[in-house]
Chain A
């Protein structure tokens, strides 16, 4: 490894502050959100009227399913329903 003095190591430690706790928690809960998303997609695939309703307002559909409609989750749902 390159020889760094303590000052350089300290400077590099400061480059990686923790990400906001809420962001980390939301990402950690993805598998749970994903399971709820799977249910929503399965129901939409089986019911055309429900699918149209979900596509018309993805955020509300997620909210009603108990999933926080974060942009990444909304985008994931949009991608899956578009397949």
Chain B
């Protein structure tokens, strides 16, 4: 995980740096995916359309971002907007099959709040050593077994368990040492 700030990354993307764009997609891919799949419970094919649409819009409209520091809430807002558009289009195309409530109110706000919290925890994860990042990511995010992780990293299963425990303790220390984050912004972040 790169230590570059969102603002610096946004500025590099605007300057046409293709590596920066790749990094931006990598950095926010889980966030966008989680909003679509968990916050709006979209089916995989719909979530994929939303995922591509979010990054296409982000690429086209990066110039409209009011402040580069607002990259994360802006992408969150774009994703929510794309999910709502998708639900609206679904109910227009199949009015009888999908008697969905108002798409504007279709989001599971509790799940969305959890995604925001999870993103903050992921940022804290980025402050750990690469070994800790990898083992925690493989076990908790990718749901890999001790055996798979052990085989991939060339370590015995028992070592994996103790490494996970040690790294979680470090994550907690990092988490508790971070400043209180402002609440997730839902305000307009474009010009």
Verify A16–B22 contact, CB threshold 8 A: no
Q: Across the interface, name the chain A residue whose C-beta is closest to B50.
A: A72
A23 neighbours in B (Cβ, 8 Å): 29, 33, 48, 51-52
Contact B169 A6 (CB under 8 A): yes
A1 interface residue (CB < 8 Å to B): yes
Residues of B within 8 A of A14 (CB): 140-141, 143
Contact yes or no, B29 A13, CB < 8 A: no
Q: Which of B56, B120, B181 contacts A76 (CB 8 A)?
A: B56
Number of A-B contacts (CB under 8 A): 114
Chain B minimum-CB-distance residue to A22: B48
**Inter-chain contact A24/B26, CB cutoff 8 Å:** yes
How far, in Å, is B166 (CB) from chain A's closest CB?
A: 11
Identify whether the interface residues of A are mostly helix, strand, loop, or mixed: helix
Cβ of B131 within 8 Å of any chain A Cβ, yes or no, is no
Surface stretch bound by B, among A27-35, A39-47, A48-56, A58-66: A27-35
Q: Chain A residues with Cβ under 8 A from B119's Cβ?
A: 16
Q: What is the 8 Å Cβ interface bit string for chain A, positions 56-80, against chain B (1 contact, 0 not)?
A: 0000000000000011110110000
Q: Which of B55, B175, B176 contacts A30 (CB 8 A)?
A: B55
- Contact residues on A (Cβ < 8 Å of other chain), bracket: 20 to 34
What sequence of 0s and 1s flags, for each residue 71-83 of chain B, a beta carbon within 8 Å of any chain A beta carbon? 0000000000000
Contacts of B127 in A (CB 8 A): none
Question: Considering the chains assembled together, what is the distance between the CA atoms of A1 and B180 in angstroms?
Answer: 4
The verdict on A1 contacting B176 (CB below 8 Å), with A27-B29, A30-B56 known, is yes
| A15 CB, nearest partner CB in chain B, Å | 4
Contact of B118 among A3, A16, A18, A31 (CB under 8 A): A16
B169 touches A72 (CB 8 A): no
Shortest CB-to-CB span from A79 to chain B, Å, is 9
The complex places the Cα of A39 from the Cα of B59 at a distance, in Å, of: 17
Closest to B164 in A: A10
A19 and B22 form a contact (CB under 8 A): no
Q: For the complex, give the distance between the alpha carbons of A76 and B143 in Å.
A: 35
| Inter-chain contact B118/A12, CB cutoff 8 Å | yes
B residues lining the A interface (CB < 8 Å)? 18, 21-22, 25-26, 29-34, 38, 48-49, 51-53, 55-56, 59-60, 114-115, 117-122, 125, 136-137, 140-143, 165, 168-169, 171-172, 175-181
A1-B181, A10-B168, A15-B38 known; 5 new pairs, CB 8 Å cut-off, are A13-B140, A16-B118, A19-B51, A20-B48, A72-B55
